[in-house]
Amino acid sequence: MATTADFRNGLVIEYNNDLYTIIQFQHVKPGKGPAFVRTKLKNIKTGRVLDNTFSSGTKVNVARVERRPYQYLYKDDIGFYFMHLETFEQIHVEEHVIDYPEFLLEGQRAEVVVHADTETVLSVELPQSVVMDVTYTEKGLRGDTATNAYKPATMENGSVIMVPLFINSGDKIKINTSDRSYVERVKG
């Protein structure tokens, strides 16, 4: 058991018979009345974010969550397969548990978040960024670089992201996996 004084970003709590991650919290002590804690909670299963207010000192159950290092192996009709980097144990993960699964590359490392009490996979966290080849994009026009103009580009895995006009087919680019955005062109 923990109280609202133990809240921190990333803490996983049990709330309404579900697991939620605390995204943001703020202790508030108004001039009149008791103190309270305003929070933003993200449902681990659905990804839905809700605002909630706890009275100061409220007791909550903290879920035991572990982050384990895994390597992505392959995908089939059932889902995605990962191998633990220390025990070489293989696990199966369904697609809805992974944010942006199109950025998984064979052999890539990922952190699998597991509920330690039930050994169920809660989520798969990809690296902050990945490097991929641009397989197709339209040619940029000379002189169109005065503003931040973007064009669609097809990546080696078939996903399409928006890139600046100077990116051409065959270039390698770094992509932010949390919001599918272009970061920079990679040399070599």
Is-contact 18 63, C-beta < 8 A? no
| Position 144 pLDDT exceeds 60 | no
Per-residue model confidence as pLDDT tens digits over 101-135 = 888 888 999 999 898 888 888 888 888 999 999 99
If asked whether residues 74 and 120 sit together in one domain, one would say yes
* Nearest partner of 55 among 96, 93, 3, judged by Cα: 3
- Mean pLDDT over all residues of the chain? 88
Domain stops at, among 19, 47, 62: 62
- Residue 7 is part of a domain; what is its CATH number? 2.30.30.30
Which domain covers residue 108, as residue numbers? 65-125
- Residue 170 is part of a domain; what is its CATH number? 2.40.50.140
If asked whether residues 117 and 136 sit together in one domain, one would say no
| Position 146 pLDDT exceeds 70 | no
If asked whether residues 143 and 110 sit together in one domain, one would say no
If asked whether residues 97 and 142 sit together in one domain, one would say no
Assign 142 a pLDDT band (cuts: 50, 70, 90): low
pLDDT score, position 176: 92
Domain stops at, among 62, 81, 98: 62
Q: Pull the structure tokens for residue 74.
A: 């392959």
If asked whether residues 134 and 180 sit together in one domain, one would say yes
If asked whether residues 98 and 47 sit together in one domain, one would say no
If asked whether residues 17 and 57 sit together in one domain, one would say yes
Per-residue model confidence as pLDDT tens digits over 32-91 = 889 999 999 988 877 789 999 999 999 999 999 898 999 999 999 989 999 999 999 999
Is-contact 128 99, C-beta < 8 A? no
| Position 188 pLDDT exceeds 90 | no
pTM listed for this prediction:
0.72
If asked whether residues 6 and 18 sit together in one domain, one would say yes
Domain stops at, among 35, 62, 89: 62
If asked whether residues 8 and 58 sit together in one domain, one would say yes
| Position 163 pLDDT exceeds 60 | yes
| Position 100 pLDDT exceeds 90 | no
Counted domains in the chain: 3
